[in-house]
Amino acid sequence: MDGCADDPIVVSAIRSQKAGMAMFLNERDRNKYSRLVADDFRYQDLQADETQLGCSGSGETANCRDAAIEEIFHVISGPGISVAYAKKFGETNSLMTKSMDKARGGKFITVPDKYPPDAIYHYYDKTCSYQCMATEYFYWAVTSFHHGQNAREQDNMREWEASTRGQLKSKVRDMFSLIIRRNKMKLLSAKGILPGTGSKIGAAGTYKPKRQKCASGCALDGTKCGPLGGG
């Protein structure tokens, strides 16, 4: 990683909706202090006590998981990728949601009491809307493609049955194809690995900028990344 946006179109979409992360010490502090977050800031919360730097990326195990990968990914995919590439990865009516409907065993706008026995993706959180289900589906598919779920295959079975790249290709082939074919965007890493992989200090260990002047002009300070708000 070099501090430059791999896909300025996605960054611009995120900025237009004033989306980003809000980090708290723990869930108790989130409940106490979330009221201080600006009303017009579309945020995804992350707690410090669920951020496990030593097992980030594909270094996750059955007993250690860095929640930062998932929560940050939701910000990139929800207000970012799904908006920038709506026809392919939109969260309401796209090629991805058609794939998700097949993986869930049908199109369920609300969470069913029971999924069909052949469902590959079966999330039972009643508070999760259809768009939320699409956000989670994208996370599962991309991290499985990048080997981020291999060590948690058995734990994931309650929700997701395609935790390895091979399983994704065989069980959810249409989504596998969407990930590998004709994408203008870069999915997490040009090298095909999850941020933080092989690092004891999380994604910070893989942030080794070779330059700070970005060819696209879109850098960490937000310069030339599109206007903030108005989306």
pLDDT in tens, 104-131: 999 999 999 999 999 999 999 999 999 9
Work out the mean pLDDT of the chain and round it to a whole number.
86
pLDDT score, position 135: 96
| pLDDT of 221 over the 90 cut | no
Mean pLDDT of 199-222: 67
pLDDT at 220 over 90: no
Highest mean pLDDT among 136-140, 180-184, 204-208: 136-140
- Residue 224 has what pLDDT? 86
pLDDT at 65 over 80: no
The answer to whether the CB of 217 falls within 8 A of the CB of 6 is: no
- Distance separating alpha carbons of residues 45 and 216, to the nearest angstrom: 29
Give whole-number Cα distances, 204 to 3, 69, 91, 189, in Å. Answer: 11, 12, 30, 14
Q: Is the pLDDT of residue 190 over 70?
A: no
